[in-house]
Amino acid sequence: MIKDRHDFPAAPSPPGQPLELTFPALSEWVSVVRLATAGVASRMGFSYDEIEDIKLAIAEACNNAILHAHPEKAGQMVRVQWLPCARHLEISVIDGGSLEPHQLRLNDSSKELDDLPEGGMGLLLIEALMDEVEQSATPQGNTILRMIKRLSVDTRIEVGSFS
């Protein structure tokens, strides 16, 4: 009997090595992004609760990107980038939409929770779950939502020992 040899887990990515996934702007792909995000966060040493928070934030970010992509244009794509660092995980979601940064105001304390439109809570939720959130636009008009989650002091990895 020949046994296939599999070395699991695969060799870990060193801190700072980016990962990227581009997917069609369709909601059925959000679960794939959540799964990939859980894998990256788990390898970095985030706790179960932190991983669940990150997965919820990335799902909200992807759903926003899908919602604001131009549905009349066939083939719209969403790109997710993960950048694992020694002390934090940086995730960027880039969509094919054309929202200007002032259209999705983050941290707008002038609005009461009751005054937000239905479905307008996603960014507030992302801000509550992640340590840093910022929105910007590319020169081509694409929207970038950048999120950072810091590792707890007791789970920080040493640079060069990402395993």
The distance from CA 31 to its chain's CA centroid, rounded to whole angstroms, is: 12
Query: What is the number of other CB atoms lying within 10 angstroms of the CB of residue 57?
Result: 24
The predicted model scores a pTM of 0.76
Which residues make Cβ contacts (< 8 Å) with residue 32, sequence separation at least 6?
A: 21, 23
Each residue's pLDDT tens digit, 66-77: 987 766 667 889
Own/partner contacts of 47-52, CB < 8 Å, gap of 24 or more, are 47/152, 47/155, 50/149, 50/152
3-class SS at 77? strand
Domains of the chain: 19-107+122-155 (3.30.565.10)
Res. 21: pLDDT tops 90: yes
